[in-house]
Amino acid sequence: MITRGMFGFLLFLAILVLIDIYAFKGVSTALSGAGPGTRRWVRLVYWAISIGMIALLVWVSISVNELRSTRNHSFMFSLAALFMLFFLPKVVIVVFHGLEDLVEAGRWLFDKLTPGAPVAEGEPITRLRFLSQIGLALAAIPFVGVLYGITHGRRNFRVERVRLKAPNLPAAFDGLRIVHISDMHLGSFPSGTDIVQKGVDLINEERPDLILFTGDMVNDYADEAEAWVDTLKDLQARIGKFSILGNHDYSDYARWDSQEAKRANLERLKKHHAAMGFRLMLDENTRIERDGEAITLLGVQNWGRRFQQYGDLPKTMQGHDPATYRILMSHDPTHWEEQVVGTGIDLTLSGHTHGAQFGITIAGQTYSPAQWVYKHWAGLYAEGTQHLYVNRGFGFIGFPGRVGMPPEITVIELQKA
């Protein structure tokens, strides 16, 4: 008996096969002027890759439970990248070859409705074949982009520097240097990689006063962080290191045999934060003093418009001095617009969006799919005297790379206005 899930997968495979067939038709049209040897090799390579990818998808579907039990996110994400590497170029070819077929259908209909002089034999290259050739050439763009993203894009950190003037900042904190990082997703990194160490070295070179981490240390499981405890323990900050939880840290997206096992996983993750030298803030605040003056740091649990709403902002603010300069760590930037604006909290630090791990910069302006989902998706925003900074993320999830949206280390320098 075919289950609903099996039917969906078979339908998905059928669509992929149709895309393969039609994309190959576009490739054949674009290369129709090439020699028979070239066309034979292209056909062999094309179908070897296509059949291999379909076979890989079938194997993954059969082995999905076993693969899930290994908790090897890096391997699964690598398979996803491999699929994108060869599928996205076919989509480009299909689009341009589809345009060609539409124009050809229009020409055929026009000829039927308005018969005229017969077309001479030996007609040279037409605009239609030219469209297929453009599609084949442009197909290299997503291929190169994905390849770059998984080989270099995910490791080329960008140190984003922000100077923020604050009239109510105490003089003792003028020039305070904060390193803001978010969304490590440590389970996504392959074992033995030096990417995490590279990020740690860049952070320490900034000699920060505070290191603030705004959630999503792991994808689901606490043991994803174990290999990186000693590395992240080396992060140095003069005043201290503070952290909060993100939506992935609660392991709500994983399957658990019992609620007790799930709670134990979260407690284990909390211990990893402590072992790394982070003070994990769970709906609480702390007073940071220097030379007789103070600021307040607040840390709220995850609260998002479309995600978990565990955070309790009133509890987080309870007992703090509202006259001090206040910094709030809140993972999801939608929390700022929903609950934080209007509280007078001076600076909110968030992450969560990853900048969609993809962006295109044109004339100095960056565009990303993230802006279709989030009003505040990357960088600095202001509402009156309140500010929000959204970090683009340290790691990655799903697609194991970054294209035009490098991993970010934010250095915020507070200046008394």
Q: What is the Cα–Cα distance from 289 to 68, expressed in whole angstroms? A: 47
pLDDT at 162: 98
Residue 124 is predicted with a pLDDT of: 46
Identify the band that residue 112 occupies on the pLDDT scale cut at 50, 70 and 90.
confident
Mean pLDDT, residues 215-239: 97
pLDDT tens figures, 283-327: 999 999 999 999 999 999 999 999 999 999 999 999 999 999 999
> Which run of H or E residues covers position 138?
helix 127-138
Give residue 125's pLDDT. Answer: 44
117: confidence class by pLDDT, cuts 50, 70, 90: low
Burial of 385 (0-12, 13-18, 19+ CB in 10 A): exposed
Domain range annotation of the chain: 4-150, 159-416
Over the stretch 11-42, which tens digit does the pLDDT of each residue have?
999 999 999 999 999 999 999 888 999 999 99
Model confidence, pTM: 0.90
Per-residue model confidence as pLDDT tens digits over 39-83: 999 999 999 999 999 999 899 888 877 877 778 888 889 989 999
CA-to-CA distance for 390 and 241, rounded, in angstroms? 19
CB-CB contact of 31 with 42 (8 Å): yes
Name the helix (H) or strand (E) containing 378: none
Q: Name 328's Cβ contacts closer than 8 Å, sequence gap at least 6.
A: 298, 299, 300, 316, 340, 345, 347, 348, 349
CATH of 159-416, one of 3.20.10.10, 3.40.50.720, 3.60.21.10, 3.40.190.10: 3.60.21.10
Q: How would residue 8 be classed by pLDDT, with cut points 50, 70 and 90?
A: confident
| pLDDT tens string 83-95 | 999 999 999 999 9
